[in-house]
Amino acid sequence: MPNKKWTVMVWMAGDNNLQDAGEQDLQEMKKVGSTADVDVVVQFDRMSDQNTRRYHIQKGTPLQQDEVQSLGATNCGDPKVSTDFFVWAMKQYPADRYLASFWNHGGGIDETDVYARARSMGLPAGRKVRRGNGNGNGGAAVTEAHARVIANSRYRHALFSTTVEKAIVRRGIAYDDTARDFLDNAELKTVLKDVTTQTGKKIDLVGFDACLMNMIEIGYQLRQYAGYSVGSEQTEPGEGWPYDTVLGDLNANPAMGAGAFGTAIVKRYIGSYTSGGVTQSLLDLGRSDDIAKLVDALAKALLAAIKKPADYAAVTKATKAAQHYEYADFLDLCDLCAQLKTRVSAKAVKTAATAVMDALCGGASPFVVASKSKGKGVAKSFGASIYFPAARDVKVAYSSLDFAKATAWDEFIAAYQKP
């Protein structure tokens, strides 16, 4: 029997304050379901009953009829759990192409407890924003974005089992309240590496239905094991991806490649919100090494430039003026380069910044394949962010990231932050 065209694999880490949102997204998926050309499979870890279930999503059936396995209690922060799901899905539902979607809270390279401050204030936390209803806070519950504002305050605490040191070093994507654990940066890479090794197939498209994950550093981390990534530079303002329209597009054209599918996700995500600052972009991870080399050249040019007080001041103004996100230390790389090009007098900086901008968004094969934004505060978003601390609070282990090892960006940050 021939493979289907696509298998859409959604790993839902719902053992936390996003369980209700997960239930809603499952119902969106069921509006389309699996077809002759596309399989939709989900692993959903709930908080309510401490049971993880696997579903082969169908249209027009009760959700319980879609259940194909019950795994009992699992830990979303254990990389083996997510690896096992993706390997199982690829072997049970073989396809020409695969989307691996990581659904949960995300924090880019910032790894701290997104719930601690909300709990300390006695506030419920959940994604209650509704598409198409203006600010749509939907009652007293704290939106996911608001929960992140709380978590990003100076009152935050790392409460998970992972050590504080690791919490500083690594970026998290999947949080499990019951196990008090999370998938960190190194583990996310390990998951995709192990999936590739065990199946002999690279993931075509990695999706982040989570906040703040489309960073240069993250793309570089995963470049060997995935072709593209689609996600947001900003926090997700509510219900995340509109799975009904996303799957509808795929089923209308199941022969589309990963680039086309990712572009469709970008369009549908932005189109599903009528207000609020939202971003979504598709990155060609095959261009990650090229971008790293160009950022390395820019960092070296900046290292030389900031030795002059005037250019140091110009860099400060450029970083303050550049597009930033819920975490102020995350800057849109293209806009940062535009600001540097305009403000810094050093010719080497202007040349290097122009080269980065061209590779990001110009030419026949840009790193940012598709990018859209809508709403207040994100107009200068071009698809990929980068870490630059707004104050002298550099993550001490930033230099351990793969991107930092490959470039002088961490050296530039350190030099700039010296008093």
Domain boundary among 246, 273, 288: 288
Compute the CA torsion angle 202, 205, 209, 213 (nearest 10 deg): 80
- Would you say residue 402 lies in a domain? yes
Residues 225 and 324 reside in one and the same domain: no
Look at residue 9 in the predicted model and tell me its pLDDT: 97
Q: Give exposure, 190-228, as e/b (b: 16+ Cβ within 10 Å).
A: bbbebbbeebeeebbbbbbbbbbbbbbbbbbbbbebbbb
Domain boundary among 288, 306, 341: 288
Residues 147 and 40 reside in one and the same domain: yes
- Would you say residue 375 lies in a domain? no
User: Would you say 313 and 288 are in contact if contact means Cβ atoms under 8 Å apart?
Assistant: no
Residues 218 and 238 reside in one and the same domain: yes
- Would you say residue 369 lies in a domain? no
Residues 197 and 334 reside in one and the same domain: no
Its domain, for residue 332, covers: 289-364+382-417
Look at residue 103 in the predicted model and tell me its pLDDT: 79
- Would you say residue 207 lies in a domain? yes
- Would you say residue 237 lies in a domain? yes
Look at residue 363 in the predicted model and tell me its pLDDT: 82
User: Would you say 168 and 60 are in contact if contact means Cβ atoms under 8 Å apart?
Assistant: no
**Per the structure, how many domains does the chain have?**
2
Residues 112 and 255 reside in one and the same domain: yes
pLDDT tens string, the chain, 419 residues long: the values are 789 999 999 988 754 445 566 778 899 999 999 999 999 999 987 655 777 889 999 998 999 999 999 887 766 657 788 899 999 999 999 999 999 998 765 554 554 444 343 344 343 333 233 343 332 323 333 344 433 333 333 222 222 223 223 332 333 344 333 433 345 556 788 889 999 999 999 999 999 887 788 899 999 999 999 999 999 998 876 578 999 999 999 999 999 999 999 999 999 999 998 877 899 999 999 999 999 999 999 999 999 999 999 999 999 999 999 999 987 889 999 999 999 999 999 999 999 999 999 999 988 899 999 999 999 899 999 999 999 986 655 554 577 789 999 999 999 998 998 85
Domain boundary among 288, 315, 333: 288
- Would you say residue 377 lies in a domain? no
Predicted model pTM: 0.82
Residues 254 and 149 reside in one and the same domain: yes
Residues 256 and 327 reside in one and the same domain: no
Residues 317 and 283 reside in one and the same domain: no
Residues 327 and 270 reside in one and the same domain: no
